[in-house]
Amino acid sequence: MNNLRNRVQLIGNLGRDVEIKSLDNGRSMARASIATREVYRNDEGEKNIDVQWHNLVAWGKMAEMMHVLCKKGKEVAVQGKLTHRMYEDKDGVTRYTSEIVVSEFMLIN
């Protein structure tokens, strides 16, 4: 049951190409975002589309594989854990963000 405590699974389309960085310690880090889409009908029967954007982070070999295989617009399934962090931007303003740390991914199309 422990692996169910913080688990996220999403299928969506990549909003941009995966950006990768090599850190000082030699480890790779990749960032990307995916859009998920939910279609539903409201009380009046009108079709609505709700799009949500999700930030992805991957480390090490996972980051390198995503950088090579995942391109903007591709449909991808990801699994990972949800994390929240705060940071200061270049103007010194404290910002908060939520990210999915990817442990597995699969290209759909």
Strand bridging mode 19-22 / 28-41 = antiparallel
Position 5 scores a pLDDT of: 86
**Tokens at 59, concatenated:** 């480390």
Residue pair 23/63 in contact (Cβ under 8 Å)? The answer is: no
* Angle, CA of 61, 64 and 66, to the nearest 5°: 110
Mean pLDDT within 55-69 = 96
Question: Average pLDDT in the 10-27 region?
Answer: 94
Strands 94-107 and 47-59: parallel
Residue with tokens 């990210």: 99
Per the prediction, the chain carries an average pLDDT of 94
Q: Decide if pLDDT at 1 tops 70.
A: no
pLDDT, position 73? 94
CA distance 41 to 46: 5
**Mean pLDDT for the stretch of residues 77-90:** 95
Residue 37 has pLDDT above 90, yes or no: yes
Domain extents in the chain:
2-107
What does R_g of the chain's alpha carbons equal in angstroms?
Answer: 16
Share of the chain above pLDDT 70, in %: 97
Residue 6 reports pLDDT greater than 80 = yes
Mean pLDDT computed over 79-89: 95
Residue 79: CB partners within 8 Å, gap ≥ 6? Answer: 7, 8, 9, 102, 103, 104, 105
DSSP 90: T
Among the listed residues 19, 84, 96, the one whose alpha carbon sits nearest the alpha carbon of residue 58? 19
CATH code for the domain defined by 2-107: 2.40.50.140
